Amino acid sequence: MTIKPLDDKLFKFDLSSSPSLRSRTGKDADGASGKLFELALFVDFTVPGNLKTMKFLSDFLGAFDGGAAVFLKSYPVDSGSGGDAVAAAKAIYCAAEQGKLLNLLGGMFNSSPPVDRTLLIKIAGEGDMEKEKFSSCLDSEKYAAAIKRDIAEADNAGVKSTPVLFINGRRFNPFLGWDAENLGRTLKRYAE
């Protein structure tokens, strides 16, 4: 049996309010637009392995010569990390609201677990964010509906653990490898 890089089943996700990790438009050598890939990444922002995956995708897209946008979808689960998964999910939206998503993620990448409210506010202060505005946002229910929608979409798509990546609505098969070569080969294959 051959393992496909992407599942055949297609899912539709609402990406309209999802924070975007990185967005690039693809141009070929003649300046013509290439295919834009929408990558929906379901993550629990308190799990160190998920943070490593986001860092990998950020680095990968920095070197990728095609067009791609990674949309972060919250799937806060009780991972046993000791962190506050819901606060971390809210923090992603609160940082994006201030245009400082990469600052927050950078702080999370370089911090030791657990990712909790105290750490998130510390990172916000160090990450050039309006700390009071961030704290107020974090304590509010402003993004509760968006997080609930992400969870419902993940459940509908069969997500049981994180990270899970969907490329243009099709689930990426990590058994072929979470590496730049495999992901690049997959994107090139589905660009045609």
Residue 1 lies in a domain: no
pTM of the model: 0.84
> Is 156 inside any structural domain?
yes
Residue 55 token pair = 């860092």
What's the rounded Cα separation, in Å, for the pair 148 and 53?
22
Average pLDDT on 47-76 reads 80
- 37 lies in some domain: yes
Write out the residue range of the structural domain in which residue 157 sits.
Answer: 6-191
Is residue 111, in this structure, part of any structural domain at all? yes
pLDDT tier for residue 110 given thresholds of 50, 70 and 90: confident
On whether the CB atoms of residues 13 and 169 are closer than 8 A, the answer is yes
Residue 165 lies in a domain: yes
Structural domains of the chain, count: 1
56: CATH: 3.40.30.10
Q: Is residue 48 part of a domain?
A: yes
pLDDT at 137: 96
Residue at token pair 């962190």: 83
φ/ψ of 9, rounded to 5, equals: -70, 135
In a domain, 23, yes or no: yes
Flag whether 25 is in a domain: yes
Round the average pLDDT of the chain to a whole number and report it. Answer: 82
**Tens of pLDDT, residues 128-175:** 999 999 999 999 999 999 999 999 999 999 999 888 999 889 898 877
Distance between CA 39 and CA 19 in Å, rounded? 12
Sheet with 6-10, strands from edge to edge, namely 6-10, 170-172, 164-167, 36-43, 67-74, 20-24
